[in-house]
Amino acid sequence: VNSTDLLKLMAQRGEVPLGSPQRKAATRHLQENLRRIGRVCKDARVPLALCTLAANDAGFAPVGSVAVDLDEAQTKQWSTWMDGAADRMTRDYVAVAEAAEALELLERAAALSDEHAWLRYLQGRALERLGRGDEAYRAYRKARDLDTMPWRAPTGHSEIIRVQAREVGAVLVDVETAFDEVAPPQGVGWQWMVDHVHFSVPGQVLLARAMAQSMGDGVAM
């Protein structure tokens, strides 16, 4: 399956609402499956390494967002502000003044309803253009977590993997941290990824180095 076919296939799977049973089940299943894998490997005396997750946050826009729950007048105003911000931030070239204008519009919209993935992503774009990389990083990751078509794992899954690696005695390959350390302040983008989660050649090299370093520190049983 090529990248285009994969994206089409995923788009057909439908939305996963925020706070839905499916999201809670995904977290629970991840924990349970890692524990089970850990037990099997320990019994078989097979070394186990668990990797945290890196994703294209700065370059890949969220696919789905929740519908705003506002009255008719507020929804119209919210949409006007969002459209104005999107118009500014999706141009081929965004001037600093335009980014500042977009951020102001987004802050107004967020005051009415802020649990919206596209809003958070546009915030990240505006903050990045304004040189506020650390704030952009947080906005992009929030956009990932609010995406109702979660093609990228929620940010909290990496912490689950860290905890389970300690519990089962696995080697932890902290891929997320390795990428964050070399990425610009706003986070991982197209330099390291070819789509939403798959690594480019430089990303594959970075992944291999992170694995080699972690495995070289010693293999737990």
Within 55-190, strands assigned E span 171-173
User: For 94, how many CA atoms within 13 A lie in the half-sphere containing its CB?
Assistant: 22
From first to last of its 221 residues, what are the pLDDT tens digits of the chain? Answer: 555 565 565 555 678 888 889 999 999 999 999 999 999 999 999 999 999 999 999 999 999 999 999 999 999 999 999 999 999 999 999 999 999 999 999 999 999 999 999 999 999 999 999 999 999 999 999 999 999 999 999 999 999 999 999 999 999 999 999 999 999 999 999 999 999 999 999 999 999 999 999 988 654 43
pTM equals 0.90
